[in-house]
Amino acid sequence: MKLEHVELRRIHLPLVAPFRASIGTLLHRDVLLVNVTLDGVEGWGECTAFGEPMYSYEYSDGAQDVIRRHMLPLLFAQEEVRAEDLARILAPVRGHPMAKAAVEMAILDAELRAQNRSFGDFLGASRAQVDCGVSVGIHEHVDDLLRTVDGYLGEGYKRIKLKIEPGHDIDDVRAVREAFGDILLQVDANTAYTRGDGQHLAQLDELDLLLIEQPLPEEDVRGHAELAQVVRTPICLDESITSADIAEDAIAMGACSVVNIKAGRVGGYLEARRVHDVCAARGVPVWCGGMLETGLGRAANVALAALPNFTLPGDTSASGRYYAQDIVEPFVLAEGTLAVPTGPGLGVTPLEDELERFTVSVETCR
């Protein structure tokens, strides 16, 4: 299919409540959307970079710039553009996986819409619904944390993930475990600790957690392998896993026994599927992480999370977890699950009025 037209759209979507984690406090989501037209068929992509370079070096302004100035000229020069060829075509552009993933998602959406085929069918989804967990930000007061967790359990979420950092870890997690018994519970450190914190983190072992996610800096894979010898709680890698090859190496080193897959972090849904396959072949379970996506990114994530080796509930929360108004028809929790979209492509399209309401800029590229 020939790439004819690209629209780079920025939206600011208010969060229902401030979201605090080790990477900072967010009041709204600054989102870069990529809208492509190939042979007259539209496709949508969403960049998972934040407005500031706090989760990774990528950020929305930078992603828009590198797509416009460096990626699109390579794509417009092609007689035919296919999602499976994108990694090769964009190889001259080093890094920027979140930007590349947004472009790949948009092109794949258009391809699949043209074929009347869903994301889930293309990726290899093995079920029609996925179990959903929820990520709970850091709270200053434990009582507030307990009320928040109680509310999410009441909504039917099947797993609770607590953000932790020094000063908000052992006691907070213990309070949740004691208050709610044998719920599925895990924690996410977002690289907030060092190798010297092993004995401190080992205190989590008594709390019967599913896993501790990314306790050390992303580049310290060896440190995670050493930490796994001190902490009995399974180590899950998130930020460290940037490709299927790196996932394979991390597993071989003993740095993790669980992997969180984020399509944006690894450069797209095709590479995310490869990470899934590598982990499945080695008996390492995976789950789908979230980046406060709109309904566009959520649709793709739910399809990904329906693959066979996604055996743990992911961060595929309902739309209302983050947004009072989404830009697509909202994803609504049903008995702790979300349905995998079955329509062509992503299976969802933006609501025109809501898209315009939250748009702050539009850039057209041909």
Active site amino acids: 163, 262
Residue written as token pair 């004995």: 199
Report the C-alpha gap between 292 and 81 in whole angstroms.
Answer: 29
Report the C-alpha gap between 250 and 260 in whole angstroms.
Answer: 13
- Residues in CB range of 353: below 8 A, 6 or more apart: none
Q: Which two tokens stand for residue 355?
A: 């898209």
195: left (phi over 0), alpha (psi -120 to 50) or beta: alpha
Report the C-alpha gap between 350 and 128 in whole angstroms.
Answer: 22
Q: Counting Cβ atoms within 10 Å, is residue 254 exposed (0-12), middle (13-18) or buried (19+)?
A: middle
Residue written as token pair 């599925």: 184
What end-to-end distance do the CA atoms of the chain give, in Å?
15
* Amino acid, single-letter form, for residue 72: L
Nearest to 165 by CA among 194, 207, 185: 194
CA 256 to chain centre: 18
In whole angstroms, how large is the CA radius of gyration of the chain?
A: 20
Q: Which two tokens stand for residue 39?
A: 């042979």
Element (H, E) at 72: helix 72-76
Residue written as token pair 């566009």: 296
